[in-house]
Amino acid sequence: MFSGILSSRRDGSSPVRAWLVLCCMAMLQFFIAVDVTVVNVALPSIGADFGVDGHALTWVVVGYTITGGGLLMLGGRLGDVLGRRRILLLGTTLFGAASLLAGLAPSFAVLVTARLLQGAGEAIALPAAMAVIVLMFPEGPRRSRALSVWAAVASCGLVLGFVVSGIITELLGWRWIFLVSVPFILVVLAAAALLVPSERPAGPAPLDLPGSLLLVAAPLLFTLGVIEAGEADSTLPWLPPAALVGAVAAGVLFVRVERRSRNPLVPLRFFRNRPRVLANLATALLSAALSTSFLLFTYYLQDRSGAGPLQSGLTMLPLAVSLIAASVLVPRLLGRWGARACVLAGIGFTALAMAAIALVSSLGATSPTMIPAMVLIAAGMGFGIVGLQYVAVTGVTEDDAGIASGVQRAADQLGGSTGVTLYVGTGFAPILDGTDPFLVSSFLAVAGLAAAGYVAWRISLPAAVTEETLG
């Protein structure tokens, strides 16, 4: 994705200008990252406004990550072909407009549509934004510092999304979790138009549009099928099986299209690297459980314990602090323990967290008793995802670095959306009324984690890596 810019630098890009661009790109990254988690605490308020239950509310979460993950590889390719500045402006505009639409949505269907568009904007804008940073900072310490800032901002956005959502929803209402980003997006657009150098597009090149559309269609149809199958009084009994069959068909067609495409989203040579394939499969399975836990925390705190959005956001503060601590600790342990040991530890921590969620729910305990589960989730995310990220990009070259990182991010997002759909969608389905939805969702997540553990165990890498390699 970045092979054409890794060794280039635009003349006249002064350090001051480059750091101004980095600040603006980091601002965009922050709000895009926040939007992954910011809706979680606001979901009960959204459901109350539109008369939608927790079962159908999964659309608000997964809509964003399905289009964000499914179109990510296409977004990176568009920047290479049509110019990164142009695609950056297009994706940022789409993200800002979709945020405005989400904040003003008159109906639940419009809100879900806006979330789908937000994800598409993310997929188009983020690869171009990262490419711009690489372009404007020369290889060496300056680029390393810039990319470290970029990664740190993304982590902070994900972590702060929980707390920010509670504060905004309590004081201003859930619509403002979307509207608050619009003025900042306008600043990013103005700065990008003025500061990011224009470039000559690479020229016409084949784009794998069919593959991209099928990669989005498969999880969307799967989500539709699972959610509709859980409705106790569905007026369209044929829709769930039709959607699920369509999801399978879209997945099969995607594989066939990728095999025949002259410029596939994922070249077939990618699948010859067994550790990378296993790492991305384990990433999807682990992310499925992690994303599920975030929703279960929200539903328990507000629906079961009766906490308001602000109290819920503050109760999840230990999760945010633990995630920050894990992000500092894990890279050091990765060099001592090895990637596979860290991944297996992360999966184990996450399984313990899901068991703790089920136990707290069955006992009907108070909100603070969820804090140990939150700390375990943070440890699972820190150890598991960081370890899998390392495996997923081990041995990459300049030619396939963009593909490897793009596939890993797509596996993370699509795995999370699939997990929320299957685990939460099934657990909270009206057709299962009378069962404990937290117990059902947690059990399904643990089953998925068992599969993740088996896959991770089969990853074969050197037992340890040096600090220099990790850097």
- Residues 397-419: tens digit of each pLDDT: 655 656 777 788 888 888 988 99
Q: Scan for tokens 């372009």, then name that residue.
A: 135
By mean pLDDT, which of 70-84, 114-128, 186-200 is the weakest? Answer: 70-84
Residue 174's pLDDT is 93
Residue 446's pLDDT is 96
Residue 94's pLDDT is 95
Q: Which residue has the higher pLDDT, 159 or 175?
A: 175
Tell the burial category of 7 from Cβ atoms under 10 Å away from its Cβ (0-12, 13-18, 19+).
exposed
CA distance 377 to 300: 15
The class that CATH gives domain 1-205 is mainly alpha
Max Cα distance, the chain (Å): 67
CA dihedral 327, 333, 338, 343 (to 10 degrees): -40
By mean pLDDT, which of 75-84, 156-165, 201-210 is the weakest? Answer: 201-210
Name 433's bridge partners.
435
Mean pLDDT computed over every residue of the chain: 83
Nearest to 273 by CA among 383, 403, 159: 403
Residue 312's pLDDT is 87
Residue 229's pLDDT band, with cuts at 50, 70 and 90, is confident
Residue 140's pLDDT band, with cuts at 50, 70 and 90, is low
Residue 108's pLDDT is 94
First and final CA of the chain: distance in angstroms? 21
CA angle in degrees (0–180, nearest 5) for 209-212-399: 90
CB 201 within 8 A of CB 82: yes
Query: Is pLDDT above 70 for 78?
Result: yes
Tell the burial category of 272 from Cβ atoms under 10 Å away from its Cβ (0-12, 13-18, 19+).
exposed
Residue 423's pLDDT is 93
Residue 348's pLDDT is 96
By mean pLDDT, which of 80-84, 121-125, 305-309, 424-428 is the weakest? Answer: 80-84
Residue 399's pLDDT is 57
By mean pLDDT, which of 260-269, 283-292, 350-359 is the weakest? Answer: 260-269
Residue 441 DSSP SS3: helix
Q: Scan for tokens 């171009």, then name that residue.
A: 128
Helix%, strand%, coil% for the chain, nearest 5: 80, 0, 20
- For 405-426, give one letter per residue: b (16+ CB within 10 A) or e: bbbbbbbbbbbbbbbbbbbbbb
In order of 46, 169, 290, 453, the CA distances from 224 in angstroms are: 19, 28, 21, 28
Alpha helices, DSSP H, located in 196-308: 209-229, 239-260, 274-299
Most confident range, picked from 33-37, 131-135, 287-291, 379-383: 287-291
pLDDT tens track for 181-209: 999 999 999 988 888 887 766 556 677 88
| Helices and strands, counts by H and E, the chain | 20, 0
Q: Scan for tokens 């269609």, then name that residue.
A: 217
Nearest to 126 by CA among 98, 154, 152: 154
Residue 463's pLDDT band, with cuts at 50, 70 and 90, is very low
Domain ranges of the chain: 1-205, 208-262, 272-471
Residue 302's pLDDT band, with cuts at 50, 70 and 90, is confident
pLDDT tens track for 42-61: 888 999 999 987 677 888 98
Fold agreement between 1-205 and 272-471: yes
272-471 topology per CATH: Growth Hormone; Chain: A; (1.20.1250)
Residue 460's pLDDT is 76
CA distance 426 to 437: 8
Query: Is pLDDT above 60 for 110?
Result: yes
